[in-house]
Chains A and B, each alone.
Chain A
Amino acid sequence: MALLPAPVIELLDAALVADLTVIGRDGRPLTHPLIPFWDGERILMTSSALFSRKVEHIRRDPRVAVSVVDHDGLTTPLPGRATIQGMARIVEDDPHVTWERVLPLWRAKEPVIDRFLKMRFALPLFFERAIIEVTPTRSLYWPDGDATKTPLDAVVEVA
């Protein structure tokens, strides 16, 4: 089990939006704002088939970073900021249903998702999704959110 520092997990649990940085086709980094979930071992994100270029990038190069930096996008106010580096894996055996295992975590952060899901016939492609599973390898944490100070740098232990 990968162990992230507790304050970083607290940030992930509170975040409605995180920046996922992937490596693009030409080797340049590209960032996508997504809603993150922590399942106790990995960071989970999902991507609709409509916006799946990031999935192609990850399949080609699984190195990613996830940063929680927007204080307005936290469900509970926390002063810190964090960036987590890791290796991503795409789970997409059946894009129609596989992602639904993330639904309980998603529902907890964004209850309105159930209303959208009931209208699935109106947004069919939005609900064809891949799971992006990030296994953390390192975290950088700024306790007061001020990145001009040196971050707490932790190599993630695997228990």
Chain B
Amino acid sequence: MDLATALGKLKAYPYANLFWQDDAGMPLSVALEGFSVDVENARVSLPVPGGEAVRVPSDRAVGLISGHIRRQPGIGYDERRYVELWGRAHVDGGRILFEPTEAWGWDEAELPFMEYSERGVEQAFRYFGGLSARFGHAMRPRLQIGWLLFRATRLPFLSATLVPVLLGIAVAARQGTFDPLLAVLTVVGAAAVHLGLNVSNDVFDDVLGADRLNYTPTPYSGGSRVIQYGLLTRREMALLSATFYGLAIAIGLVLVAMTRSLELLAIGVLGVIVSLGYTAPPLKLVYRGLGEFAVALGFGPLMLVGAYVVQTGHVALEPVIASIPVALLVALILYVNEIPDRPADEAAGKRTLVVRFSPEIVRAGYLAAAAIAFAVIVVGVVAGVLPWPTLLALAAVPLAVQVYRGIGQTSYAYGLMSVMATNIKLHVVVGALLVVGYLAAIAATALGLAASL
């Protein structure tokens, strides 16, 4: 913080707390009111404290701090801010004249607590390093194992897998094919590959530096941060990712063996390649502006058509069409989540679409992709490919409008959090309504209400 800013802020506070080391070497402080600030000449004039015990020295460093909190009875406090200056002081004309040379401070309205904390991560590492040296064994931050796995795998993002897989199963079921065992294995296998992807994404983002440079992570962006926080090592995360991929591949092979479908084998192999290549060299798809494409492909056609093929043994047009809106909306999750990551991604050479294009083009791109997602549903129904109850998904249009408006208002991570949450909700709601549409069509056919919905 520069001196002029700090002095300007000091003016707003009701007291100034002067501090120094007394003659015995002990820190000492005294709070004074009735001070005046001369910003232009970088001076603060204060009344002289009473008594020899608090005589302000002129031969050593003197600091001054003032701050503010707002009491919130029954809760605690908020509106934290303070400013601290450091320099020399002397008595001049019956007043203390304090001449600061350095200043620092914090105002949570300007630097939110989450970002302020994020900027302290390096200090936390130094702290644990020192602690480990003193205690003679490695010490690091901890979390309960359940919470650690929840955080490391970014478990809530599994909705991105459940939507296409359940929809693929529903499309097959409408055609009269449903095997519950295959359905369960599909869900578990797809979830495993997704969790493997989430974890490997953190590993490679750490290697390539993108997550370390990000000071504004949110629950939706900036990675799980378990490596950056020292909760797990990169090696442990790599092992965790390999475990998930191992499980996914094993389940995939079982499904291929059970269905004897070469198409499923091809989808599985492509899925693992896209998933790993999302962040991992040499593909590094997300670093080349192909992240949205990879996510759309993986969490759209590959998962949805894959789940359909597991049930039916063959590829068809209907699941491909049904996968398009899901693919576009899941890609838009990544797209919007990349908006607050733009500075860190740019610094790490991660050329995402958001980094490549201006904010205006990014916003227009959102509108276009969301509009196409809904248009495909309508066209699919009109063309007789999708059952008409899937039009229920159009009820989610207002959510897309909310997100479009939201990304036009701010690009700041914490300001965008509710927008990112709404965007994830949009994908889940559209996916759920498409599944409900299929279930309604299945029920109607079963009840003989319609020959073919």
Contacts and interface: CB of A to CB of B under 8 A. Distances in A.
Interface of A: 16-17, 19, 21-23, 27-31, 33, 48-53, 55-56, 63-65, 67, 69-73, 75, 81, 83, 85, 92, 95-96, 109-113, 120-126, 128, 137-138, 140, 145-151, 153
Nearest to A28: B61
B76 A111 contact: yes
B50 A147 contact: yes
A63 B21 CA distance: 10
A65 B25 CA distance: 11
A29 to B, nearest CB: 5
Interface stretch (B142-150, B183-191, B421-429, B440-448): B142-150
A112 B29 contact: no
Contacts of A81: 31
Contacts of B143: 120-121, 124
6 pairs of A and B residues whose beta carbons are closest in the complex: A50-B120, A150-B51, A110-B76, A69-B31, A121-B147, A21-B27
B19 A19 contact: yes
Interface stretch (B127-135, B272-280, B342-350): B127-135
B229 interface: yes
Contacts of A112: 72, 75-76
Interface stretch (B63-71, B159-167, B403-411): B63-71
Given A31-B29, A153-B53, A124 B123 contact: no
A94 B123 CA distance: 17
A49 B67 CA distance: 22
B9 interface: no
- The CB with the most chain B CB atoms within 10 A, among A19, A56, A81, A126, is that of A19
Interface of B: 14-15, 17, 19-21, 25-33, 47-51, 53-54, 61, 63, 65, 67-77, 80, 82, 84, 86, 117, 120-121, 123-124, 126-128, 130-131, 139, 141-144, 147-148, 150-151, 219, 229, 231
Contacts of B74: 111
Contact of A149 (B50, B120, B151): B50
